[in-house]
Structure 1
Amino acid sequence: MRFDNRLLDEIRTRLTLSDLVGRRVTWDRRKTQPGKGDYWACCPFHQEKSPSFHVDDRRNRYKCFGCGASGDHFTFLCETEGLSFPEAVERLAEQAGVALPAPDPQAARREKKRAGLADICEMAAQFFQGEFAGPRGGEARAYAQKRGLSAETLREFRFGFAPDSRDGLKSYLAAREVPEAAMIEAGLVIRPDDGRPGYDRFRGRLMIPIQDERGRVVAFGGRTLLPDGQPKYLNSPETPLFHKGAMLFNAHRARESAFKASEAVVVEGYLDAIALFQAGLPNVVASLGTAFTEDQILRLWKFAPEPVICFDGDAAGVSAAHRAIDRIFPVLRSGYSFQFCFLPDGMDPDDLIKQRGLEGFAEQTGAAQALFDVVWDREISVARLDTPERKAALEKRFDDLIGTIRDERVRRRYQLDLKFKLSNLFFEQARQNRRQGKKDQAESQSFGKPREGVSESDDFGNERLVLGLCMRFPHLLDRYYERLARLPFENELHSRFRDVICRIIDQIEATPVADLTSDYDEPLRDLMYEMMLETIGFQQQKHGAVFSLLNHRFPLLKSNPPEDFVEAAFLHFLDVLELNALEDELSGELSTSDDQLDEHSWQRIQALSQDLSRRREECAREEAELAERAKKIRSAPPAAAVVH
C-alpha cells in the first residue's frame, strides 16, 4: 500500500521522535538539550560506550555517527521491531490517532482475492490434517515418529497427509463449493493441457503447511514417503499468495524471538527447521530449498543484524554458501552481514541435534565464519600465485565482487581489509621464495626486533603499536590518514613502512597490491613480514598457542573490545607520539636559545610550553578514561568480537 506524504507527515508531527526512540535508549544527560530538541545516546544498532546516536526532534530524524544508521519514526520501528513499512505506519497511526485511508478499489479487490485463496489453503490444511490422523495416514505418522517429531510439534506445525488419490483434495474442496479455477490458482490442483479433468498436485506425501508472517497458510511443502520417490520435496508453485523467493519458512514464529535475541539461524530445509524448533531453538527459519534472494536477505536482517546461515559440510553445502555470497554482497550495508556455519561432513542439522543435542548445535553455530573470511577462503583455495598475472587475476576477482556492494561505506571497508590481507599474503609468499630452507624457529628468535640494528627509542613501542593497529584495523588508517601521514616517526624503517601503507590507502583502486609491494629493499620487506606476524600472530611451538606482539603490546585486544574503544585508544597513541615530538621540538628550541634568545624565540618557547602543558593534561585525562573503560571490559563476560 502506498501512503500519502501528508499522512506520514501528520503522524510524525503528532508523535515526538525522541519519545519513540527513548523507549529503547537512555539519553546522555551531558550532551542532550531537550529544550532544543537535541538528544544523544549510545546507539541501539551497534555496541558502543560513548554516545554517537543523535535524535533531532525539529527535523524528525535520527543518525548514528558511528555506524551510519539513520531514518525517521517509521524507519526506527522497522529496524528495532522487525516490522514492514506498512506495519510500522499502521502501528504509529494507531498511536497517533490518525485514521488511515481505505485502500483503493483495485487494491481492495486484490486483497479480497488473496484472502479467498488463503481460505482455500486453510481448508486444504484441515483436509490434510484429517487424513494424517485418519486410517490412510498411518505411513505418514510412522515417518514422523521415525524423525522423532513429538505430538506437540505435529500439532504446532499442522502436519498432514495427502492421500495417493487423483482427486481426494479436489473432491473435498468441491464439496465446499470451491471453484476448480480457484483450486488451480491456489496451487492445489493441476489442469492438464489436453483437456482432461484436473487432479491433485500433492499425492502420497507428508504435508507441511507454509505460513506467511501473519500465520496464514499460503502454500505447502510435501515430502515423498517412497524410498525412491521423486522429487523428494515438492513445494506449491508461485501463486498470488506464495512467492517462494520472498518467503522464509517459520518466519511468523521466529521473528519475535530472533529480534529480541538479535540472533537468527537459517537452514536449508523446513524439516531441519522444525527439528531445531522442537529442540528449543525458536529463532530458526528455512529458505524453502532455493538460492537466497535479495528479498529473503533483507527480510532476515529484520530478524537479526548477522544471521547465521547453516549449511551441510559437504561439497553441495559449500557450493550453496558460495551462491548465497554472490547474492548477499550487492545488498550489504553498515551493521548488517551474515555468518556461515558448515556442519561436519555428512551431517545435517537434524542429525546433529539427535547426536549432540542443542548444545552441540550451538557449538557449531558459535564457531561460524564471518562473511569476509568465507569469501577469502573461497578465492584463495583455488588461486595459484606463482606469477604476477595470477596474482593480478586473484585481486581482480576480489575487486569485481567487492565492486558489486552498493553501500559506499561497506565497500570501502572491504577494499581496505582486502588490500591489507592481500599485501600480507604477497609479502609472505615473496619472503618464502627468497628464503627457501630457513626455519620458522630461527626467524622467531629475532621476532619483533628492529632489523636495522639501532637501539629501541622511547617511541619504538608506541610506533609499532600504531602501525600494528593500522594493519589490523585498516579503517583507522583510512579515517586518520592525513594525521598519520604527517606524524614524525623516530625509527626510520617505521617511517618508511608508514609511507607504504599510506600509499596503499591513497592508491587503493588505482594500483594493484602486487605492484605496490614489488620494489622494496630487503630491510623494508623484513619489517613488513614482521609486522604481518605481529598483527596476525604466529604459531608457537610451545603449547601450540597463537601469539602476536600486537596483543602483547595491547593485551586488551584479546578481550575483543568494542570498536569505538579501539579507535579511542588508537587516537590516544597518536596523541602520545605527537606529544613526544612536541617535547623534542621544545628541547631543540631551548638548546638553540642558550646562545641567543630574542623576543621572537622567547614567544615561541612560551607558546610551545603552553601547548605542551595542555597536551599533557589531555593525554593524562584520556589515559585515565581508557583505563577505566579497560577495567570494565576486562570484567565483562566474554562476547563475540565486534571488530574486524
Structure 2
Amino acid sequence: MVLSPQWLDELRARTTLSAVIGRTTRLTKAGHEFKACCPFHNEKTPSFYVNDAKGFYHCFGCEAHGDVIRWMTDQRGMSFMDAVKELAAQAGMEVPRADPREAERAERRAGLHDVTAAAQEWFEHNLRAAEGAHARAYLGRRGFSEAIVREFGFGYAPEDRQALKRALARFEEPMLVETGMRIAVEDKDPYDRFRDRLMLPIHDTRGRVIAFGGRILDADANPNAPKYLNSPDTPLFDKGRTLYNLHRAAPAARQSGRLIVVEGYMDAIALANAGIREAVAPLGTALTENQLELLWRQVERPILCLDGDNAGQRAAMRAIQRALPLLRPGHSLAIVRLPAGLDPDDLLREQGVAALERLLAEPASLLDMLWEFEKAAGPLNSPEDKAGLKARLMDHVEAIQHPDIRALYKRELSDRFSAFAFPPRLQREFTPHREWKKDGWKQQAPTLDPRAAERLRRAMSGGARDSLGRAVLAGLMRYPDQIARHEHALSDFARRDQNVGPAIDSLLEAAEALDLRGQSPISHLQGLPAPPEKAHFAFLDEGIDPGDAREDLAEAVSLLVERPALESALAEATARFERDPEGSIAEQARLRERLLALNERLKQFGRRKAAATGESDS
C-alpha cells in the first residue's frame, strides 16, 4: 500500500504528538514545549523535548528525533503500516486503499533512487582516480578539508559524453534519462548531462540522493557553459520544494536555534567547513513558498545571508515578497547584509569566521530590510518621489494576509515614512522640549503650537458641526494610538468638511510630528483643550475597557466620515439627473432609484447617530 505525502501530512496534523507520547512517557510543560527524561536512553536530567507546533520530538543527549509515526515505530516497535493504521483510527481518518498505479509509480521511484545512488558512488570514485586530479586541485584551492569533501560527497564527472552510460550499464537508458543523468534529443544519441564538472549530490530530507549539481572546472575552455548546472525536475527532484543540505542542517539548527539561508550550495559547504553547519541553499531559484515553509518547520526566524552585491539584495527582496503573504505570529525572516561585493565564502576567507558570526548575531528584520531597500530604490528629492516611496511601502503591506501583522507593518512603516518625509514646518507644531535639571536633561511635556491648539479648542467648544465631530476629536486625543489607524478616512473627511476639517488636520499633523504610540492622552499635554465633560459616547467614559473604547471610537469615526461621502454622491447623482432631463426612461428610473437609496442611507445614518449620541433625529 502506498500513502501519499499529503495524506501522511494530514495524519500528522490531526494527531497531537504530546498526547501520544504522554501515554507512555511522563511529560512536563516547558514553555511552548514539553520535556522528559529520554525514553531511548538512561538519564537523570531531562533532555528529551516534544514540540507539538512543529510536530517532532528530539533528545539532545542521544539525538533521537522523529515525528509521531517514528515514535510509534521506534519506541513502541510497531511496523510502519501498523503505526499508521492505529494513528488513523484515533484521528478518525480512513486509510486509503491500495492504488495499483500509485504502487507502480512508487516502485519506479525506488528504481530511480538506485540510479542516483549508483551515479553518486561512481562520481566519488572518479574524484579519487587520476582523472579527478584537477577537481581535487580545485577543492584544495577552496580550502575544503578532506572531512568536508567526504561528508558532502564531492565527485567528478568525466568529459566523455558516454562515460556514465558505460559505468551504469546495468540500468536501462530510459531510467538514466528520467533521473536527469542523460539528455535525450531528437535525431541524436543520448549523452551525459554532466561532463568535466565537480559533482555534488543533492539529498532529500531522508538523506537519499535525488539529484546533482555540477560546477564547471575549465570556464575558459567553455565560455558559454553555465558555471553551475543542476539536474532538471524529475520524479525524485522538485527544485522548488527542495533545500540543499537541509538533512544535515536541520539537526544542527535544533542545537543552535538558527537556520541560515545562503545563495548557493558552495556557500553552504564553505560555512560548514568553517564550523557553521546549519546552512541551506535554494537550487538556482529564489526562495519559493514551499521552501519558506520548510525553513519555518525548523526555526521561526531563518536568517537570509545572501551576497553583498545588487543581485544578492534583489534576491533578498524576492524572498521577502514571497514571505509577506505567508507571515504569521512568530514566523518571519531575518536578513544579514554582507559587505558589498562579498559572498559568505569570500568573507570567511578574507576576514574569518568571527566576522561572519558578528553579522549573524545582529541580522536586520524583514521590516528593516523592506524599508531600507525601498528608500534606496530611487531619488527622494521631491514630494512626488516621497509619495512614490510611501505607495511602494503600502503595496508591500497590502500583500500581508494576517490582519494583525498587516496593521502593525502599516503603522510602523507609516511612522518611519512620516519621520523621514514630514516637512519641518509641520514638525514645529508639536515639538518636545528639554530642560536642565540637576541630574541631567529632562524631557518636558510637548507643547502644541498655539494656532493648532486654538483650532482644536474651537472645535471642542462647539465650533464643530455637531457633537459627533467633537466626540471623535476628544476620543482621538484620549487614544492617540488610534490616529494612525484612521488616518486615511480622517484625511478624506477633512478635505470635504470645512467646519471640523481644520481641527482634524491639526490633530493629524501633530500625530505625524511626534511618535504618539504609548503616549498619555494628548489632552494631558500642555496647550491642548480637555475633552467635554458631558459626552454620550462610551469611549469617553472613564471606566470603560480600553479595547472596547477603541472599537467604539472606530464606529464613531465611521459615522463621522460616512455623511459627507454620502452627501457628495447624492449631489453628483442630482447633477447628472438635472443635466439630462430628456434621457431615457430607464436611465431616469435608475437615477431616481439611486437618489432614493442615497436618501434612505442618509436617514439611516441619522438614526444611527441619534442612537449613538442621544440626539433627536432631525
Q: Does 1:78 align with 2:78?
A: no
Deviations 1:206-254 (A, max 9, x none): 1111111111111111001113332100001110001111111111001
Q: Distance in 2 between matches of 1:519 and 1:433?
A: 14
Aligned partner of 2:483 in structure 1 is 503
Q: Distance in 2 between matches of 1:4 and 1:208?
A: 30
1:514 to 1:305, Cα distance in 2 relative to 1, 3 A? farther
Q: Distance in 1 between matches of 2:9 and 2:157?
A: 48
Q: Is the 8 A contact 1:74 1:89 kept in 2?
A: no
Aligned partner of 2:199 in structure 1 is 207
Report the alpha carbon displacement of residue 391 of structure 1 after superposing the two structures with TM. Answer: 4.7
Q: Does 1:380 align with 2:375?
A: yes
Matched position secondary structure for 1:505: coil
* Correspondence list, 1:333-372, <5 A: 333-372=328-367
Matched position secondary structure for 1:280: coil
| Identity across the alignment (%) | 34
* Correspondence list, 1:147-186, <5 A: 147-174=142-169, 177-186=170-179
Q: Is the 8 A contact 1:276 1:284 kept in 2?
A: yes
Q: Is the 8 A contact 1:149 1:275 kept in 2?
A: yes
Aligned partner of 1:319 in structure 2 is 314
Q: Does 1:43 align with 2:27?
A: no
Aligned partner of 1:234 in structure 2 is 229
Deviates more, 1:135-144 or 1:252-261: 252-261
Matched position secondary structure for 2:298: coil
Report the alpha carbon displacement of residue 269 of structure 1 after superposing the two structures with TM. Answer: 1.1
Q: Distance in 2 between matches of 1:508 and 1:453?
A: 22
Which of structures 1 and 2 has the larger relative contact order (alpha carbons within 8 angstroms, sep 6+)? 1
Q: Which of 88, 101, 108 is the equivalent residue of 2:67?
A: 88
* Correspondence list, 1:553-632, <5 A: none
Q: Distance in 1 between matches of 2:337 and 2:245?
A: 21
Matched position secondary structure for 2:84: coil
* Correspondence list, 1:114-513, <5 A: 114-174=109-169, 177-194=170-187, 196-228=188-220, 229=222, 230-382=225-377, 390-426=385-421, 429-431=422-424, 448-450=443-445, 452=447, 500-507=480-487
Deviations 1:592-623 (A, max 9, x none): xxxxxxxxxxxxxxxx9xx9xxxxxxxxxxxx
Aligned partner of 2:39 in structure 1 is none
Q: Is the 8 A contact 2:415 2:512 kept in 1?
A: no
Report the alpha carbon displacement of residue 256 of structure 1 after superposing the two structures with TM. Answer: 1.3
Deviations 1:284-321 (A, max 9, x none): 11112211110111101112111111111111111111
Matched position secondary structure for 2:168: helix
Report the alpha carbon displacement of residue 502 of structure 1 after superposing the two structures with TM. Answer: 1.9
Deviations 1:513-552 (A, max 9, x none): 9989x967999789657744x98xxxxxxxxxxxxxxxxx
Q: Does 1:100 align with 2:95?
A: no
Tell me the TM-score normalised to structure 2 length: 0.63
Q: Distance in 1 between matches of 2:425 and 2:114?
A: 69
Matched position secondary structure for 1:234: strand
Q: Where in structure 2 are there 5+ consecutive unaligned residues?
A: 35-49, 60-65, 86-96, 450-469, 525-532, 534-541, 544-618
Aligned partner of 2:29 in structure 1 is 25
Q: Distance in 2 between matches of 1:398 and 1:256?
A: 37
1:140 to 1:520, Cα distance in 2 relative to 1, 3 A? farther
Corresponding residue pairs, total: 452
Q: Distance in 2 between matches of 1:161 and 1:510?
A: 67
Q: Is the 8 A contact 1:259 1:302 kept in 2?
A: no
Report the alpha carbon displacement of residue 377 of structure 1 after superposing the two structures with TM. Answer: 1.2
Tell me the TM-score normalised to structure 1 length: 0.61
1:370 to 1:312, Cα distance in 2 relative to 1, 3 A? same
Deviations 1:121-145 (A, max 9, x none): 1111111111111111111010010
Q: Is the 8 A contact 1:262 1:305 kept in 2?
A: no
Report the alpha carbon displacement of residue 333 of structure 1 after superposing the two structures with TM. Answer: 1.2
Matched position secondary structure for 2:284: coil
Q: Is the 8 A contact 1:307 1:337 kept in 2?
A: yes
Q: Distance in 1 between matches of 2:216 and 2:493?
A: 53
Report the alpha carbon displacement of residue 408 of structure 1 after superposing the two structures with TM. Answer: 2.5
Deviations 1:234-282 (A, max 9, x none): 0011100011111111110011121332201111111111111111111
What code does the residue aligned with 2:171 have? V
Q: Distance in 1 between matches of 2:389 and 2:302?
A: 28
Larger Rg: 2
Deviations 1:425-470 (A, max 9, x none): 34xx3116888xxxx999999983345499xxxxxxxxxxxxxxxx
Deviations 1:535-586 (A, max 9, x none): 8xxxxxxxxxxxxxxxxxxxxxxxxxxxxxxxxxx79x99xx9xxxxxxxxx
Deviates more, 1:12-21 or 1:111-120: 12-21
Report the alpha carbon displacement of residue 385 of structure 1 after superposing the two structures with TM. Answer: 5.7
Report the alpha carbon displacement of residue 351 of structure 1 after superposing the two structures with TM. Answer: 1.5
What code does the residue aligned with 1:286 have? A
Q: Distance in 2 between matches of 1:530 and 1:394?
A: 19
Deviations 1:465-488 (A, max 9, x none): xxxxxxxxxxxxxxxxxxxx999x
1:529 to 1:122, Cα distance in 2 relative to 1, 3 A? same
Q: Distance in 2 between matches of 1:8 and 1:441?
A: 56
Q: Where in structure 1 are there 5+ consecutive unaligned residues?
A: 27-41, 46-72, 455-484, 536-569, 578-587, 589-607, 612-644
Matched position secondary structure for 2:131: helix
Deviations 1:164-192 (A, max 9, x none): 10100111111xx2000000000000112
Matched position secondary structure for 1:131: helix
Q: Distance in 1 between matches of 2:208 and 2:255?
A: 23
Q: Is the 8 A contact 1:395 1:512 kept in 2?
A: no
Matched position secondary structure for 1:282: coil
What code does the residue aligned with 1:431 have? P
